Structure 1
Amino acid sequence: MRHGMRTAKLGRPTAHRVLMLRNLVSSLLHHEQVTTTLPKAKAAQKLADQVIHWGKLGGKSNWDRANAFLLNPKDTLRPLFTTLAQRYASRPGGYTRIQRAGYRVGDNAPVAVLELVDSAADLRFERAARTVGREMALRAREVVPATGEMRGPAAWHDLRKRVEAHGPERIGELLGAAEELDALTRDNVVKALRYRSAPLPVDPATSVSSTAEVVSAPARDVDAPSSSAAAADADATVPAVHPASLFLDRAYHHYLLSLATLSLSTSRAPDPDRTIKQLTQRLGSLELRGAPRPVLTVPSVGRSPKAGERTDGWEAHAERGGDASSKRGGPIARAKGNKGRESRTWGAQAAAAAARAKAQAVEHEA
């Protein structure tokens, strides 16, 4: 019989288990992202959604319940009833998300990342931007049958100009209908931007003076544009960027990174001088394990040959003038094309040199 199967015991007594889950929920509300084992994340997810629901409802009774449940009320109680309540005002539920992050070293336990959705470190937001950037980088390297040349940076700039033409509020909708992206990518972009509204000012004061101080449920209409009074109350040092515009900036970052990586990559072929064990270790290291690492501005692609990798493409690149072109900037600058700052500087210098040569020619003829 399945008696006592409703609640996961997690191998701990009741008092230990309850205190551990309260600690997980308190850390989640404070840091907006915690890493733990998968069973603990599933057990803490239910409690975190319930606590956030209290913050949306507001009222003194819910304030007291959250104050009694959280272990760090001075850091999380006020943001729970203000910032998080406003962020999830239009979301009907599902305020947290579990992302699998591989297995723990030692006991091989499954590890997961429990995070608040629509936060600054949202993994789905970052992964969708990375996918859009890589697909547009692959599209930029496609050859147009009519001309026989690659599309180049114009593919990305045309897409961004089209989706930003109607304001940041419609960027998610237009990206969801873009034919340049894959169908699954368009769905993920729509999910990542569906409930993200305009940025709201965050109250830096998180201390609680007394339990009698109660914040009522927010009555703000998230679909309406932010008023000038709310914008005036925001901190002037923190720029107000729409989440959809931020998504395009992150996608452009990954687009440049993917173009630079593709320009430096070489074709791999089995090397008969290497053993099967070395090849297996090399191929196994390519797998993605754990949570995604932070994106680097410059790709970490070296020029040292590795097992199963040929270097004949490097000599061909040098014969085509790779060394001469590299003096005008790295792979990121070349990926930007004529849209980057360095390219504009070079163009201005070339124009100035041409103007000086023309003036000298006129003076010589005179």
Structure 2
Amino acid sequence: MRHKKAGRQFGRDTSSRRAMLRNLTANLITHERIETTDAKAKELRRVAERLITKATRLGKVAYTAHGELSPGDRARRLHAERLVGSYIPRWGVATDGKKVDIIAKVMIDLSKRFEGRPGGYTRIIKLGPRRGDCAQMSLIEFIDAPPVADAPAQAAEPVAAAEPATPATTAG
């Protein structure tokens, strides 16, 4: 019986599961929305929201410059940064190829953005089954993520008419 055993196993051992969730969390923070399976999105929500809550509980200390903080506030911020950094990697790569400091983004950008909000920082949108294995897919994003820029509809190029196929003739 699995009474009081929270979390999904995903058919993986602990280190593989933790690595997968670390990478999903880092990608969610870097790109602000990712597409994944329903089960992974639901588990990712637990992890990501706990990390953001650690930063938002600091209040203004999270995004104030280090020079303006008292020694006690510096210690609180450093402790929170180390707790967040113990789970996710420090650096990520954005879509445009630039390096992103993920921990600074959590501590400065996301904590300021969600300062007055008591949880519920992410939204899961069901996308339907994945082609190939029919796994249920979802889009997980921060609730105030910038809208997706729709690609302009491109006019389809007319396809040149191919030569009509002639029936093959057999010799002999």
Q: 1:95 to 1:13 in 2, by over 3 A?
A: same
Structure with the larger helix share: 1
Deviation at 1:121, TM superposition (A): 2.9
**Deviation digits for residues 300-353 of structure 1 (CA, Å, limit 9, x no counterpart):** 7xxxxxxxxxxxxxxxxxxxxxxxxxxxxxxxxxxxxxxxxxxxxxxxxxxxxx
- Relative to the length of structure 1, the TM-score reads 0.33
Which entry has the higher C-alpha Rg, 1 or 2? 1
Deviation at 1:4, TM superposition (A): 6.2
2:88 aligned partner: 70
1:106 aligned partner: 132
Q: 1:103 to 1:72 in 2, by over 3 A?
A: farther
**Kept in 1: contact 2:130–2:136 (CA 8 A):** yes
Q: Could you tell me which amino acid in structure 2 is paired with residue 71 of structure 1?
A: P
**Kept in 1: contact 2:33–2:141 (CA 8 A):** yes
Q: How does 1:153-192 map to 2 (within 5 A)?
A: none
- Relative to the length of structure 2, the TM-score reads 0.68
**Kept in 1: contact 2:89–2:102 (CA 8 A):** no
Q: Could you tell me which amino acid in structure 1 is paired with residue 53 of structure 2?
A: H
1:31 aligned partner: 31
1:54 counterpart = 2:54: yes
Deviation at 1:29, TM superposition (A): 0.5
Deviation at 1:85, TM superposition (A): 1.1
Deviation at 1:83, TM superposition (A): 1.2
Q: CA RMSD in A?
A: 2.2
Q: Which runs of 5+ in 1 are unaligned?
A: 123-292, 301-366
Q: 1:57 to 1:5 in 2, by over 3 A?
A: closer
Distance 1:69 1:80 in 2: 12
- 2:119 counterpart (83, 93, 106): 93
Taking only the aligned residue pairs, the percentage that are identical comes to 31
Q: Could you tell me which amino acid in structure 1 is paired with residue 9 of structure 2?
A: K
Q: Could you tell me which amino acid in structure 1 is paired with residue 7 of structure 2?
A: T
DSSP 3-state at the match of 2:101: helix
Distance 1:111 1:20 in 2: 17
2:142 aligned partner: 116
Q: How many residues align?
A: 129
Q: 1:64 to 1:56 in 2, by over 3 A?
A: same
**Deviation digits for residues 219-240 of structure 1 (CA, Å, limit 9, x no counterpart):** xxxxxxxxxxxxxxxxxxxxxx
Structure with the larger strand share: 2
**Kept in 1: contact 2:49–2:121 (CA 8 A):** yes
Relative contact order: is structure 1 or structure 2 higher (C-alpha 8 Å, sep ≥ 6)? 2
Q: Which runs of 5+ in 2 are unaligned?
A: 59-76, 92-99, 156-172
Deviation at 1:5, TM superposition (A): 4.4
Q: How does 1:1-366 map to 2 (within 5 A)?
A: 1-3=1-3, 5-58=5-58, 59-73=77-91, 75-121=101-147, 294=150, 296=152
DSSP 3-state at the match of 2:86: helix
Q: 1:295 to 1:91 in 2, by over 3 A?
A: farther
Distance 1:78 1:104 in 2: 34
Q: Could you tell me which amino acid in structure 1 is paired with residue 150 of structure 2?
A: P
Q: Which runs of 4+ in 1 moved over 6 A?
A: none
Distance 1:88 1:294 in 2: 26
